[in-house]
Amino acid sequence: MANPPHGGVLKDLIARDFPRQAQLAAEAETLPAITLTERQLCDLELILNGGFSPLEGFMNEADYNGVVKDNRLADGVLFSMPITLDVSDETIKEVGLKPGARVTLRDLRDDRNLAILTVDDIYKPDKVLEAKEVFGSDDEAHPAVKYLFRTAADFYVGGKVEAVNRLQHYDFVDLRYTPAELRLHFDKLGWSRVVAFQTRNPMHRAHRELTVRAARSHHANVLIHPVVGLTKPGDIDHFTRVRVYKALLPRYPNGMAVLGLLPLAMRMGGPREAIWHAIIRKNHGATHFIVGRDHAGPGKNSQGVDFYGPYDAQYAVEKYRDELGIEVVPFQMMTYLPDKDEYAPVDQIPKDARTLNISGTELRSRLRSGRDIPEWFSYPEVVKVLRESHPPRAAQGFTVFLTGYTNSGKDQIARALQVTLNQQGGRSVSMLLGETVRHELSSELGFSREDRSRNIARIAFVAGELTRSGAAVIAAPIAPFDKDRAAAREAVEKYGDFYLVHVATPLEYCEKTDKRGIYAKARAGEIKGFTGVDDPYEAPSKPDLVVDCEKQTVRSIVHQIVLMLESRGLLDRL
Ligand SMILES: Nc1ncnc2c1ncn2[C@@H]1O[C@H](COP(=O)(O)OS(=O)(=O)O)[C@@H](OP(=O)(O)O)[C@H]1O
């Protein structure tokens, strides 16, 4: 038998409301609706499937106050994280929210109706108090505090929900178990003792050793229960991580472990989060829960000091151990002992023993450069998955963005660079010349300040998408404004390197050598608002390279660009 749920009853609202599903679905169509944010969607999914038992909806003011101040719902049951539905003043008015009103909760991804909420109350939280009590700080370096202050709306709506539909997922569907499904699964396998492992990171040998040790010392099996909802900004995406967990699974002895995905929106709340995580795992049927060093830690505050002590989360769960109803297995960090070729918890390592470790930063750097990742650290099949998602520099896309006056030589440089990169091979090379873009993408735009911005934004969007998929992109618009170039850099740098090359050929030279006669037309007033004639060009304030076709040949300029790309490792042989 799996562990009893928190509060005694699994609040599987989907199952509870299934008999009335048709009726609820019909009613949902007639009600005003609130479209949920990503965070609210994650919360709703775990309310609907019982992962947050004993909750049956979003917290009303009494439950919220109890949880914020004292880790307790109004009826006294332990619960450490406020689960609230934040709405703006406008939404309250638009939707007509008031106590007793019924409102449909809708999925932002596909507009499906998910639930009906009956409003209990609407209240204005004291966000500073919430931040301090729940996260121990009102410093916005904490991602949940930042979310609370900057993203969450000003009012909370409390009320119970009735289930209309489960959320649709299209990725790893077979690994998404509801608490009821997981309980049934454990039952089928005959597992009565299950130790759950929470993670938002890829797993390596140390994690495998830790979980196997935890299982063996408690005569239990393992539930690898990674978060696939929202984790810490900057984390490795869940697609990659789930492929990693799948690759790791056969490394457990005799089918010791099961992998299930948890659609949780983490808050990185350290001690409070650890209690919450334990409750969620208990609801999923686990009997034991591993809490390691710096569990759900958000890192450092704006003063450079850790928000929480490394073992604060362990102390917090220890404090509520009797009420939690899931045995917490505290764990020290695992360290590799090369002389024995084994892992051991740091507190059990002999004094003079040699140890080895690879930090997360070091791992990322090795992935980026394609350097070796030793087998004592991770399994080859895990490394393979990570390498696929972290191509070495030589396979990463990038954008070279040439800016300058018409006839500054930017088009010749772009063409010569394209040929040079094609000769080198290894990447597809895409060109976005000013005139081509104007013809193919921006034919309805003119040359007003606004239209030029829009044109550059389109170039940046396409360059970003191509860079993301590993291409070398050469863009060569005039791009006369710093603000637009900075925005382009920001758009592309999400996916790869961006190099701004100012083709600073003097205007007089551009004009003098203009064979197309376009400057003459502009001077004659036949073309209005022409850059350099009667429209401004702002020289880039932070170019990566400045070149000049009056003083240099195209060949030497291309060579300079190639050297720049080479020095960043982008042209290494694969
Ligand atoms: N009013 C005005 N001002 C500037 N340029 C003009 C104008 N009208 C037409 N053209 C020709 O349009 C070509 C593309 O301009 P861009 O799209 O690069 O300009 S911008 O970046 O959007 O400002 C650009 O050519 P290239 O510089 O050779 O690409 C210009 O010759």
288-346 pLDDT tens trace: 999 988 999 999 999 999 999 999 999 999 999 999 999 999 988 899 999 999 999 98
Angle at 49 between CA 48 and CA 52, to 5 degrees: 85
Q: Which atom of ligand 1 is found nearest the CA of 455?
A: 22
How far, in Å, CA of 157 to CA of 524, rounded?
65
Nearest CA to ligand 1 atom 29: 434
Query: Phi and psi for 227 in degrees, rounded to 5?
Result: -85, 125
Mean pLDDT of all residues in the chain? 96
480 Cα: distance to centroid of ligand 1 (angstroms): 10
481 Cα: distance to centroid of ligand 1 (angstroms): 13
pLDDT at 392: 85
Q: Which atom of ligand 1 is found nearest the CA of 437?
A: 17
How far, in Å, CA of 162 to CA of 58, rounded?
11
| Contact between residue 24 and residue 163 where contact means Cβ atoms under 8 Å apart | yes
- pLDDT band with cut points at 50, 70 and 90 for residue 115: very high
| Contact between residue 289 and residue 196 where contact means Cβ atoms under 8 Å apart | yes
Nearest CA to ligand 1 atom 6: 530
Average pLDDT over residues 255-272: 97
Nearest CA to ligand 1 atom 27: 406
How far, in Å, CA of 127 to CA of 132, rounded?
9
446 Cα: distance to centroid of ligand 1 (angstroms): 9
458 Cα: distance to centroid of ligand 1 (angstroms): 15
pLDDT at 1: 62
Higher pLDDT, 389 or 458: 458
Nearest CA to ligand 1 atom 17: 434
Q: Which atom of ligand 1 is found nearest the CA of 447?
A: 1
- Does the structure show a pLDDT above 80 at 488? yes
Does 458 appear as a known binding residue? no
User: Which residue among 531, 535, 537 has the greatest number of ligand 1 atoms within 8 angstroms of its CB, and so is best to mutate?
Assistant: 531
pLDDT at 476: 98
> pLDDT tens digits, residue range 124-147?
999 999 999 999 999 999 999 999
Angle at 548 between CA 544 and CA 552, to 5 degrees: 115
Q: Which atom of ligand 1 is found nearest the CA of 516?
A: 31
Higher pLDDT, 292 or 510: 510
- Strand locations in 60-138, DSSP E? 85-87, 102-106, 113-123
- pLDDT band with cut points at 50, 70 and 90 for residue 437: very high
Nearest to 465 by CA among 425, 430, 515: 430
How far is CA 228 from each of CA 61, 81, 106, 260, rounded to the nearest angstrom? 29, 18, 20, 10
Nearest CA to ligand 1 atom 15: 434
| Bridge partners, residue 113, by sequence | 106
Share above pLDDT 90 across residues of the chain, in percent, rounded to a whole number: 92
pLDDT at 307: 97
Nearest CA to ligand 1 atom 8: 530
498 Cα: distance to centroid of ligand 1 (angstroms): 22
Nearest to 471 by CA among 410, 413, 423, 430: 430
- Does the structure show a pLDDT above 90 at 391? no
| Contact between residue 233 and residue 151 where contact means Cβ atoms under 8 Å apart | no
First to last CA, the chain: 53
* Weakest mean pLDDT among 208-212, 218-222, 355-359: 355-359
Does 293 appear as a known binding residue? yes
Average pLDDT over residues 263-279: 97
Q: Which of helix, strand or coil describes residue 85?
A: strand
- Does the structure show a pLDDT above 90 at 559? yes
Amino acid type, 263:
P
CB-defined site of ligand 1, < 6 Å: 406, 411, 434-435, 438, 447, 452, 455-456, 477-480, 518, 527, 529-531, 535
Q: Which residues are catalytic?
A: 199-201
| Contact between residue 511 and residue 549 where contact means Cβ atoms under 8 Å apart | no
pLDDT at 312: 95
Angle at 63 between CA 130 and CA 309, to 5 degrees: 40
| Bridge partners, residue 452, by sequence | none
Higher pLDDT, 348 or 419: 419
Q: Which of helix, strand or coil describes residue 247?
A: helix
How far, in Å, CA of 485 to CA of 505, rounded?
18
Does 176 appear as a known binding residue? no
Those residues with Cβ within 8 angstroms of residue 22's Cβ, 6 or more apart along the chain or in another chain: none
* Weakest mean pLDDT among 270-279, 361-370, 402-411, 520-529: 361-370
pLDDT at 574: 64
> pLDDT tens digits, residue range 68-107?
999 999 999 999 999 999 999 999 999 999 999 999 999 9
User: Which residue among 406, 407, 441, 537 has the greatest number of ligand 1 atoms within 8 angstroms of its CB, and so is best to mutate?
Assistant: 406
User: Which residue among 478, 500, 516, 527 has the greatest number of ligand 1 atoms within 8 angstroms of its CB, and so is best to mutate?
Assistant: 478
511 Cα: distance to centroid of ligand 1 (angstroms): 14
Amino acid type, 507:
L
